[in-house]
Amino acid sequence: LITYFTAKAKYITLNFIIKKLLYIRKLFNKLSLTPHKPTIIYKDNLLIIKFLKQNKVNHCNKHINIK
């Protein structure tokens, strides 16, 4: 993955991790291994957290496609 914007790269990475996590949780459910607790994802990027909470478009994030 090559990108000029750190925020975009971190957002794409987080999106990829969440998709894989959801796949694994569904697989566990099919195997009757249902997790009893939510899975915590540790991500220390305040910029992405702020971006996701605000849900506003500006010059820094207008190039990111929300998935």
Number of domains in the chain: 1
| 32: CB partners within 8 A, 6+ apart | none
What would the two tokens of residue 20 be? 């894989």
Give the predicted TM-score (pTM) of the model.
Answer: 0.59
Structure confidence by residue, pLDDT tens digits, 8-67: 777 788 889 989 999 999 999 999 998 888 888 887 667 667 766 776 665 555 656 655
| 45: CB partners within 8 A, 6+ apart | 7, 10, 14
Residue 3: name the closest of 42, 11, 16 by CA.
11
Residue 3 falls within a domain, yes or no? yes
Which domain, by its residues, includes 29?
A: 1-54
Residue 62 falls within a domain, yes or no? no
What is the reported pLDDT for 46? 75
Neighbours of 8 (CB within 10 A): 18
What is the reported pLDDT for 21? 92
The packing angle between helices 46-54 and 6-30, to 10°, is 80
Residue 43 falls within a domain, yes or no? yes
Residue 66 falls within a domain, yes or no? no
Residue 60 falls within a domain, yes or no? no
Residue 61 falls within a domain, yes or no? no
